Chains A and B, each alone.
Chain A
Amino acid sequence: MSQAGTARLPGGWLLAGVVSVIGMSLLAAATGPAGLPPGRVLRALLDALPAVSVDSGLGERELAILWEVRLPRVVLGLLVGSSLATAGAAYQGVFRNPLADPYLLGVAAGAGLGATFAIVAGHRPILPLAAFVGGAVAVILTYLLGRGLGDRTVTGLILAGVAVASFFAAWQTYLQQRHDDTLREVYAWILGRLSTSGWREVLLVAPYVAVSIVTIVLHRRLLDVLSVGDSEAAGLGLSVGRVRLAVVAAATLGTASAVAVSGLIGFVGIIVPHTVRLAAGASYRRVVPLSVLFGGSFLVAADLAARSLLAPAELPIGVVTAFLGAPFFLAVLRTSRRVR
């Protein structure tokens, strides 16, 4: 009789996730036009802790770059990556569909429409709010319509999502055609980008992302119960509708917030949960916490690549996540098949 089951998250995996977050953050904070040695960056961070005093060896200008330029961007990357990866894992669990991604119920189309509204109206500062509202409205609409369609199954919800997404996308295309002078700007937003002006964006999304991630992490065991299907899960005492609503609402909150400040970064919500699932096991008690950690470090790595590969030019981060992520994902799939 070996260890009791596989659902529990082993400490080794948790440690690996934390190390990847810290390591990737240090690397990203250290890299850029003005090179800051990682050791000094680490000391500067330790120095900022209460009751700790170390000399980082960084000059005033370097510290300003670290605190006002690099770190906000790294932290935003962590928040957006964690949020998208966790939402992806949540959607895959709730819909029992490995192809589900955070944009399944129309967040992307709704946020796209909201952002396009803001851009064509010339109200650039309200773009995050408009994208957030658009994404949330689209999902709420999907939820209300889907419940009317397919009573107790998720099929109705997914079909409603397809309809709502097409409708919003068509509306957005129409707006874009009418205002083709802003086409380039809208397109750039769609490709996704982590750009920060100090800590503003981080403070804007952090509360929502935190609520979203905490809620999904709390539901991780219940997602495992849901894996046997709605009626068996109900027989095991699960209020399936309540769990689904809570998890979808939390995932939508996180996704809409992430999209509001970073545009439509694709692929993170699929690649990260699947990679940790293949590596560490199928239980959501492993997949969810590890998606939080590796989702963050993955997006920080992708952003690092986006701003260093063609420096000083910057690649859209969505291009990097797909261009580097897709081959990596295929490699993971191939090796895991061979092992089994």
Chain B
Amino acid sequence: MICWRNVTVHLGGLRILEGVDLDVATGEWVGLIGPNGAGKTTLLRAAIGAVRPTAGSVLIDGESHLGSLERARRVAWVPQRPFAPPGVTVFDYVMLGRNPHIPYFGTERPRDVTAVWAALSALELEALADRDVAVLSGGEFQRAVLARAVAQDAPILLLDEPTSSLDVGHQQQVLGLVDRLRSERALTVVSALHDLTLAAQFCPRLVMLAAGRVVADGSAKDVLTEQRLAIHYGATVRVREDPEAGVVVVPVRSRPGTSG
């Protein structure tokens, strides 16, 4: 369980988040949506201690002052643009996720190796175990990053735009894997997502941020309205309901002289 309590963050003199309250229950999958610069990344980074809130706190299982190792045992984070260190194999890269479980000056033990193979298997990466991460395709590397987070064996998974660099097929594949992991391992997932239609399909609950505040919180049908997307995204869209695809957000090209 993870709760943001009245979290305000200033970065470089700018207010990025203002009094954000958000409770995510164990086993939930929350999709974090909102325009660029709304504060989605900062909200996630506040939860892993990478940015310090000016006010408020983030509670992980009810605790606000976890040490970095203890926090990493409970929260795994997949950044928006993860770095692929050259010369490191997929296996060793995923093993980095075991860091919070390996003694400080020690090396991996058999159970860490087992956890890494389980993570590789969960993301269908066994065949690539010996491959250099720097030469993987975008979709393969994204899976390797997810495998690292899975190996971390933390009950809470924070994903920052896990599909932003992928084509539509790989977006579906990665989000499908996340959904499977969530049900198999009873994970709590909070993921920032750009694609609103995909967010509506995979996340039972959507939270919309705009200008550092929560502006909507609920099911896709409640949150994704044409009016709201016009106000906060400045976007001209049609929201449709499809019997198979669910809530679908379709951009409409606005032409000069016609009102959107």
Residues of A within 8 A of B (CB): 1-2, 4-8, 218-219, 221-222, 224-225, 227-229, 231-232, 234-239, 277, 281-283, 285
Contacts and interface: CB of A to CB of B under 8 A. Distances in A.
Contacts of A283: 87-88, 92
Nearest to A242: B68
Nearest to B100: A237
Q: Which of A2, A235, A283 is the most central at the interface, judged by chain B CB atoms within 10 Å of its CB?
A: A235
Tell me the interface secondary structure of chain A in the complex. Answer: loop
Given A232-B82, A234-B49, A237-B100, A5 B91 contact: yes
Contacts of A219: 105
Interface string B109-130: 0000100110000000010011
Contacts of B97: 236
Interface stretch (B70-78, B204-212, B248-256): B70-78
Contacts of A222: 104
23 contacts: A1-B117, A1-B129, A5-B89, A5-B95, A5-B116, A6-B92, A7-B92, A8-B107, A224-B96, A225-B96, A227-B88, A228-B85, A232-B79, A232-B82, A234-B50, A236-B97, A236-B99, A237-B69, A237-B72, A237-B99, A281-B87, A282-B86, A283-B87
How many interface residues does chain B have, given as a range? 35 or more
A231 B95 contact: no
Contact of A237 (B71, B82, B106): B71
A238 B68 contact: yes
A2 B83 CA distance: 25
Interface in B30-87: 45, 48-50, 68-73, 76-77, 79, 82-83, 85-87
B88 A229 contact: no
Nearest to A96: B85
Contact of B83 (A5, A221, A224, A229): A229
Contact of B99 (A8, A225, A282, A285): A225
B88 to A, nearest CB: 6
B186 to A, nearest CB: 21
B92 A231 contact: no
B168 interface: no
A238 B95 contact: no
Nearest to A277: B87
Nearest to A227: B85
Interchain residue pairs A-B with the least CB separation, the first 4: A282-B87, A237-B72, A237-B100, A5-B91
